[in-house]
Amino acid sequence: MRFRAFAASAAFACAFTLLTGCADFEHLNNSPFQDAFQGALGGGKKPPADPQQPPPNQDQQGPDDRKPGPCVDLDPAVIATCIKITGGIAPIPGADAALVAERSTGNILLAKRGPSQKAALLTHVDVNAAGDGGLMDLALSPNFATDGAIFAYISTGSDNRVVRLTKESGAKDVLTGIPHTADGNYGSIQFGPGGALYVLTSSAGDEAAAQDPGSLAGKILRIEPDQLGGDGNAATKVIVSGLGSGGALCFDVDDPDSTLWYTNRSPVKDELLRIPKGASSPQLVWSWPERPGVSGCAVKKMVAFVAAHDKLFTLAMPTGASGLPAEPVVAVDGKYGVLGDVAASAAGMLCFGTVNQAPGGRPDENVDDRVVCSAGGGGGGKGGVPGFGEPPKPKDD
């Protein structure tokens, strides 16, 4: 499988410089999205100032200086526009930035708040984007700051698979043979306790295969760290069977060792479930009998954020290991169109992507698809994006 690395040539140097600068989020304090995010976590306060950071440069352009035009959304929460259908979103530790999967092209983009909403092309992996396939999710290695490894869930012409991407080794298959069909190819990956990689696969429209222990369809699988080197034959342990046509994985970013959460589109309802540490079976958190189409999820401080078609719900769990949340609260209602992945960082940034260019969406041709982020922390530290530093290479014919 071919893999190309791109980086800070003149065309992209600005994007990487953004990772080292300061970010001023004052303009977001009164936005409905920000209020919903902070309010759900309790207190409704903006993130505390980072004492390591100098005050923002008042002369520097920011989102409020944007001018109307193609690929420009004047909403200050929008950090990237004109993406060819967003896939997974992976916030970068220690930076107010995120990597974004461009589902229909296989491009991995770097999105960062600033005057420009053009996401920088970081790297690319070849995918088959037919139907609802493509580059569906991303997960950063637990050692991303040093190894720069990115894991991706992708579609090929014959299967869905998990690959590991690095500058040095290109793309290496980690897990192959996940069933692939004309639709129902959704998948999700997340790192969890002990550095194990969790993989959620779709049923690919085959309920019997989802229940079959010999099939990789319709499962949540765990791959141990020593199986992630990239030989294509990683051993897996089945955590959950019988999943439906789509969903996503998430761990509480403040306590990733505690509970595995996931969304699921079953044939009769959409669901949010969780498996507390030490539990042997999933617990239903909430269900939507109307089946709106749940997709991404994120959890922070026992508050779950779930995308369901054009709405973003928040569900606050009670204190303790059991109990159901109160009625879900709608944090975003139709403003951005159809939503896809949701991701949170420990520093307080919450992002989601739109999928308005996918079937069933109503794209705004001037701005879609977009990445929308709350005013997070992250510190705007100097780490940059490790591992990718070569000039662009020509695409193979």
Phi-psi region of 301 (alpha: psi -120 to 50; beta: other; left: phi over 0): left
- Residue 79: the pLDDT is 94
Nearest to 190 by CA among 241, 243, 149, 139: 139
Q: Which residues contact 192 (CB under 8 A, 6 or more apart)?
A: 198, 222, 251, 256, 257, 260
Q: What average pLDDT does range 269-273 have in this prediction? A: 96
| 245 and 186 Cβ atoms separated by less than 8 Å | yes
pLDDT at 62: 59
The pLDDT score that the predictor gives to residue 387 is: 44
User: Per-residue pLDDT tens for 220-246?
Assistant: 999 999 999 878 889 999 999 999 988
Over residues 106-131, the pLDDT tens digits come to 999 999 988 899 999 999 999 999 88
Position 145 scores a pLDDT of 87
| CB distance 160 to 179 below 8 Å | yes
Q: Do the bridges between strand 371-373 and strand 350-354 make them parallel or antiparallel, or are there none, so unpaired?
A: antiparallel
Query: Which residues touch 279 (CB under 8 Å, ≥6 apart)?
Result: none
What is the four-CA torsion angle of 139, 285, 330, 335, rounded to 10 degrees? 40
63-77, 196-210, 246-260, 352-366, range with the lowest pLDDT: 63-77
At residue 263, φ and ψ (nearest 5 deg) are -100, 155
Phi and psi of 353, rounded to 5°? -110, 160
- Alpha-carbon Rg for the chain in angstroms: 20
Q: What pLDDT was estimated at residue 248?
A: 97
Q: Is the pLDDT score of 343 beyond 50?
A: yes
Q: How confident is the model at residue 273 (pLDDT cuts 50, 70, 90)?
A: very high
Q: Is the pLDDT of residue 317 over 60?
A: yes
Comparing CA positions, the residue from 318, 96, 79, 101 lying closest to residue 188 is: 101
Q: At 201, which amino acid appears?
A: T
The rounded mean pLDDT for the chain is 81
Using an 8 Å Cβ cutoff, are 205 and 184 in contact?
yes
Name the nearest CA neighbour of 341 among 77, 59, 23, 87: 87
Torsion angle in degrees (nearest 10) through CA of 150, 151, 153, 158: 100
**Which is more confidently placed, 164 or 360?**
164
pLDDT in tens, 34-46: 555 555 555 433 3
**pTM for this one?**
0.83
Mean pLDDT of 87-95: 90
Domains of the chain: 3-14+28-42+71-373 (2.120.10.30)
Q: Is 188 exposed, middle or buried (0-12, 13-18, 19+ CB in 10 A)?
A: buried
Distance CA 145, CA 143 (A): 6
Q: What is the mean pLDDT of residues 84-94?
A: 93
pLDDT at 66 over 90: no
Angle at 360 between CA 180 and CA 137, to 5 degrees: 45
Confidence class of residue 182 from pLDDT cuts 50, 70 and 90?
confident
pLDDT higher than threshold 70 for residue 258: yes
